[in-house]
Amino acid sequence: MTEPIDLSTPRAIHLVGVGGAGISAIGIVLAAMGHHVSGSDVTETGVWPKLAEAGITTEVVAAGDLFSSAGRHGADVVAHSTAFPPSEADLADAAAVGRVVLDRAGILASICAVRPTVAVSGTHGKTSTTAMLASLLVGAGEDPSFLVGATPLALGEAARWGTGGWFVVEADESDGTFLHLGAEIAVVTNVDEDHLDHWGSLAAIEAGFERFVADAPRAVVCIDDPRGDGVTAARTLALAERLGALTVGEGPEARLRIHDVVVERLHTAFSLTLDGADLGPFSIGTPGRHHARNAAVAVAVATELGIDPGRSRPALAAYRGVTRRFEVVGEAGGVTVVDDYAHNPGKLRALLASAKEAGWERVVALFQPHRYTRTRDLVADFGAALALADVVGVTEVYAAGEPPIEGVTGRSIVDAVFDRRPWASVAWLPTLDDAEQWALASLRPGDLCLTVGAGDISSLGPRLVDALARRDAGR
């Protein structure tokens, strides 16, 4: 990775792949910092209006002109998304005119160097935890800067450069980005097996998180095992104790301990103690034991920042989640339709466990596998997670740019569910049209219907709400 650059004074910065969620949010922060920001992409995306509102000039160009378009905007820095790496010719052209080229990690690290940073990472829950912490700080009147991987519903924006002293950022472990941010406070929600295409093994993932924590002056680590309720993850506990992190969890080993968790439909209540001292009751407007853990981590970080529970409590109570994280799409025909981004077994397990304990009559999960490699490597784990639902429908794999792998399809996951629970109610639904027709025939009042995955299944929820409403009206 290229070394961070100085962003303490205004610069002209061009963003390649500016229509992507990650780079567009970075662009909004850079513009708010006072930099002149432009961007290019191969197609116009839904973030174009927000970019224009932030004062960012955008253009659609051919793929071969993504980097050279920086010259038309007088940029001395180019930062690119992982979707559009520079060619050797692009790098040579930039070097010839003295233009710095950074990847997403490099430009993010440069922003982090401007203000003390709280970097939130973890295999599961980092988006929700970052959003909770940003919402808590805003609610407590701190006016923080933040960069979240999805939009907190109560804040209405995923990125802000505020007047407060801290920058809260979601730190991506999937490609090792989190190791380059120079965080003042490192936050770990959990450590689990994922992104093996980058890390290769769980041992390598654990070593990466250990370095992440060790490099920060202070750290907050949730020591709960994401695979169980109230179970401490021994390896994570050992890491936290070895490096002197503030520990959070339901087990007695945690310094900030979670207890008396109650989940009811779209709300979760819980209580906290810190080193044995009662901090009182808390609540959040999202369901699930794992959200209680995420919220407790946010309270722990706020405590590290000098914010007392009396200010944290009402700020957290106003939290209503983020886009595509248990996002309520609508209700029709007595069915609640919720969309969620869960795309690995751990996230899926946490989602379904929360849904099951929240009080709906049945949990119906429509799951779209994401990437052939992930489906191949984790098929049995997906089957075990989906077996938690009452009724399951599985679509074909969303490729996300990967070529097909012979013998790997969504049907592989259907078989894995049956392997775990032979009497399960599972349907093979290759297309989203198949999923819609099946759901209309299967859903009944009192059901929670989850559309789940990182691909285009997010478009299915609104279709289902409309179709259920028409079905109900026609009765």
The alpha carbon of 5 is separated from its chain's Cα centroid by a whole number of angstroms, namely: 27
**Residue ranges of the domains in the chain?**
12-103, 115-317, 327-473
Per-residue pLDDT at 375:
94
Per-residue pLDDT at 208:
82
277 pairs with which residues across the strands? 274
Is 127 in contact with 322 (CB distance < 8 Å)?
yes
Per-residue pLDDT at 234:
87
Contacts of residue 352, defined as CB under 8 A and 6 or more positions apart, other chains included, come to: 363, 365, 385, 386, 388, 389, 450
> DSSP for 334-364?
TEEEEEE---SHHHHHHHHHHHHHTT-SEEE
Is 179 in contact with 121 (CB distance < 8 Å)?
no
Q: Which helix (H) or strand (E) holds 240?
A: helix 234-243
Per-residue pLDDT at 290:
84
Is 325 in contact with 341 (CB distance < 8 Å)?
yes
Is 333 in contact with 171 (CB distance < 8 Å)?
no
Q: Which helix (H) or strand (E) holds 89?
A: helix 88-96
Ranges of beta strands (E only) in 76-223 are 77-80, 100-103, 117-121, 145-147, 159-160, 167-170, 185-188, 218-222
Q: For domain 115-317, give its CATH number from 2.40.70.10, 3.90.580.10, 3.40.1190.10, 3.40.640.10.
A: 3.40.1190.10
Gap between the Cα atoms of 345 and 377, Å rounded: 11
Gap between the Cα atoms of 365 and 260, Å rounded: 28
DSSP conformational letter for 144: -
Per-residue pLDDT at 354:
82
Q: For domain 327-473, give its CATH number from 3.40.50.2030, 3.90.190.20, 3.40.50.920, 2.40.50.140.
A: 3.90.190.20
Gap between the Cα atoms of 30 and 184, Å rounded: 20
Tell how strand 335-340 and strand 447-452 pair up.
parallel
Is 56 in contact with 32 (CB distance < 8 Å)?
no
Per-residue pLDDT at 146:
95
Gap between the Cα atoms of 467 and 333, Å rounded: 9
Is 257 in contact with 270 (CB distance < 8 Å)?
no
Three-class DSSP category at 460: helix
Per-residue pLDDT at 194:
61
> DSSP for 210-234?
HHHHHTSSEEEEE-B-TTSSS-B-H
Gap between the Cα atoms of 64 and 199, Å rounded: 31
Give pLDDT tens digits along the chain (475 positions). 567 899 999 999 999 999 988 899 999 999 999 999 999 999 998 889 999 999 999 999 999 999 999 999 999 999 999 889 999 999 999 999 999 999 988 999 999 999 999 999 987 888 899 999 999 999 999 999 999 988 888 888 999 999 988 999 998 776 667 788 889 999 999 776 565 565 557 677 788 888 989 999 999 999 998 776 678 888 889 999 999 999 999 999 999 999 999 988 788 999 999 999 999 999 999 888 888 999 999 999 999 999 999 999 999 999 988 888 888 899 999 999 999 989 989 889 888 988 888 888 999 999 999 999 999 999 999 999 999 999 999 999 999 888 999 999 999 999 999 999 999 999 999 999 999 999 999 999 999 999 999 999 999 999 999 999 988 776 6
Is 191 in contact with 123 (CB distance < 8 Å)?
yes
Q: Cβ atoms within 10 A of the Cβ of 400, count?
A: 13
Three-class DSSP category at 229: coil
CATH-assigned architecture of domain 12-103:
3-Layer(aba) Sandwich (3.40)
Per-residue pLDDT at 200:
59
Is 426 in contact with 388 (CB distance < 8 Å)?
no
Tokens of 397: 């794999």
Q: How many residues does the chain have?
A: 475
Per-residue pLDDT at 308:
92
Per-residue pLDDT at 195:
56
Per-residue pLDDT at 188:
93
Is 383 in contact with 417 (CB distance < 8 Å)?
yes
The alpha carbon of 252 is separated from its chain's Cα centroid by a whole number of angstroms, namely: 28
Three-class DSSP category at 281: strand
Gap between the Cα atoms of 461 and 464, Å rounded: 5
pTM of the model: 0.81
